[in-house]
Amino acid sequence: MYYQINGGKKLFGEVTIGGAKNCLLPLLAVSTAIGGKVVLHDCPPMMDVLNMVALLKKLGAKVCYQDNVATIDAKDLAYFKVDRQLGGKLRGSVLFLGALLGRFKRATVPIRGGCAIGKRPIDIHISAFKKLGVEVEEGDFEVVCNAENAKGGNVCLPYPSVGATENLLSFAVLTKGRTILENVAIEPEVIALERFLVQAGAKIQGIGTNKLIVDGVKTLNSVEFRPIPDRIETATYMVACCMAQGKITLHNVCPQHVECLTKILKGATVDFCKNNLSLECHQKIKGFQVETAPYPRFATDMQSLALSLSTVAKGQSKVVEKVFENRFFNCGELAKMGAKITLSGDFATILGVDRLQGATVKCKDLRSGAGLVLAGLNAVGTTKVLDVFHVERGYCNLVKNLNLLGGEIVEIDD
Ligand code: UD1
């Protein structure tokens, strides 16, 4: 399937942002650690979520998924080995490790290896688990862990990895003794997981900070939870409006989660009222500089969106990528659309053009794909965005919503 975009249409109207993919994936994974029922509201059926649900079912969990509500009952979970074939395709499958190890003291998860945006090793997860006494056998395709002799301890992460923090926390809450985790990630999705676990009966001190003190409990109980709004989806519509121009209102947003983006939108008017955001843009955004880093600095998942925006910003911009090694492949695709980008190592210097030109371009990963859709909204003429299955991993209703706002975009089966 590809998207065909007829660019140059201004955007006006409203969109309601859904539950965050990166919040839902760890919540779905950690539901295997819970003896009772987990009810997750606002769970949009994007591909990554559907795949996590399929993995849960393969593990023996009962899952009812209707009208954006997922109810998971993992009481009688049958296996602690995550399906290699399906799990191998989904980076989020590594998040089952901590939860299964915490509850069953054994877990086997597939190793995904590198992906389009970087090598993505799990060495930080593994060495921290080992420090807590987990025996780890790393094969070519999977990692097999045994936590029979593990207990609480002190771990200081060499880098505040989001996934490693989520995995270790999911493990520590069900592990005997006190675990102190330092230099952990403080991304909003991590904090949501901390709150979810506390609601399930976990004992965690330091919520929202980079040092967590966890006292292991024997079991975790039923919990009903609503994920945080998707800050990357929010950012996508914000940038869409700046590139196509117009006026939009986004409902269900958390203003501080998109502050790193709001700060650079000089030329647009952004107003917040409780959980609603309105953005109006009738001129070019001024050239800007961003450097990706852990929260609350500029999110790497917003980098491709910012790169697209910079191609039509006024004057020069600089985009520096410090989180992943290989997140600039959109430079070539955007160049096909007339963008003026010079890439040197981990940064790109961009000279804004008046408008991009329609072309045929290809997605290589989720967020770069979204960046190309945004470029298409700005471009003169028709843009074909190929391989949009990447985009559908993490967006629900992107095409429908952009059309509702007045964009012209169709999905075409090839
Ligand atoms: C999560 C997000 C992803 C986001 C990223 C950074 C989910 C499902 N995915 O990914 O969208 O881009 O956070 O905000 O929530 N690293 C190591 N060794 C490790 C772990 C990580 O070297 O053991 C490196 C990674 O290769 C990467 C950097 O650390 O360069 C950040 O990775 P991490 O924070 O772990 O990201 P993920 O949890 O994979």
Please tell me the residue having the least CA distance from ligand 1 atom 9.
Answer: 22
For residue 378, give the H/E element and its range: helix 366-378
353 Rama sector, left if φ>0, alpha if ψ -120 to 50, beta otherwise: beta
> How many Å lie between the centroid of ligand 1 and the Cα of residue 327?
13
Please tell me the residue having the least CA distance from ligand 1 atom 17.
Answer: 121
CA distance 349 to 26: 35
366 lines ligand 1 (CB under 6 A): no
CA distance 151 to 147: 8
- Name residues of the chain where pLDDT drops below 70: 113-116, 118
Ligand 1 atom closest to the CA of 122, numbered from 1: 23
Residue boundaries of the structural domains of the chain: 2-18+229-412, 21-225
Q: Which CATH superfamily is domain 21-225 in?
A: Enolpyruvate transferase domain (3.65.10.10)
70 lines ligand 1 (CB under 6 A): no
121 lines ligand 1 (CB under 6 A): yes
Choose the residue to mutate in 47, 159, 169 for probing ligand 1, maximizing ligand atoms within 8 Å of C-beta: 159
In 10 A of CB 224, how many CB atoms? Answer: 13
Please tell me the residue having the least CA distance from ligand 1 atom 30.
Answer: 324
Token pair recorded at residue 227? 């994920």
- 147 and 106 in contact (C-beta within 8 Å)? yes
Closest by CA to 285, choosing from 235, 244, 339, is: 244
22 lines ligand 1 (CB under 6 A): yes
Q: How does strand 316-320 pair with strand 289-291?
A: parallel
For residue 113, what pLDDT is reported?
55
pTM exceeds cut of 0.95: yes
310 lines ligand 1 (CB under 6 A): no
For residue 336, give the H/E element and its range: helix 330-336
Ligand 1 atom closest to the CA of 299, numbered from 1: 14
Ligand 1 atom closest to the CA of 21, numbered from 1: 8
> How many Å lie between the centroid of ligand 1 and the Cα of residue 113?
13
Please tell me the residue having the least CA distance from ligand 1 atom 8.
Answer: 22
321 lines ligand 1 (CB under 6 A): no
Q: 2-18+229-412 and 21-225: same fold?
A: yes
Find the DSSP H helices in 59-113. 84-87, 96-104
> How many Å lie between the centroid of ligand 1 and the Cα of residue 119?
10
CA distance 90 to 51: 8
115 lines ligand 1 (CB under 6 A): no
CA distance 224 to 41: 8
> How many Å lie between the centroid of ligand 1 and the Cα of residue 279?
30
Ligand 1 atom closest to the CA of 92, numbered from 1: 8
CATH of 2-18+229-412, one of 3.65.10.10, 3.40.50.280, 3.40.50.700, 3.40.50.300: 3.65.10.10
**Residues annotated as part of the active site:** 115
Find the DSSP H helices in 33-106. 47-58, 84-87, 96-104
25 lines ligand 1 (CB under 6 A): yes
374 lines ligand 1 (CB under 6 A): no
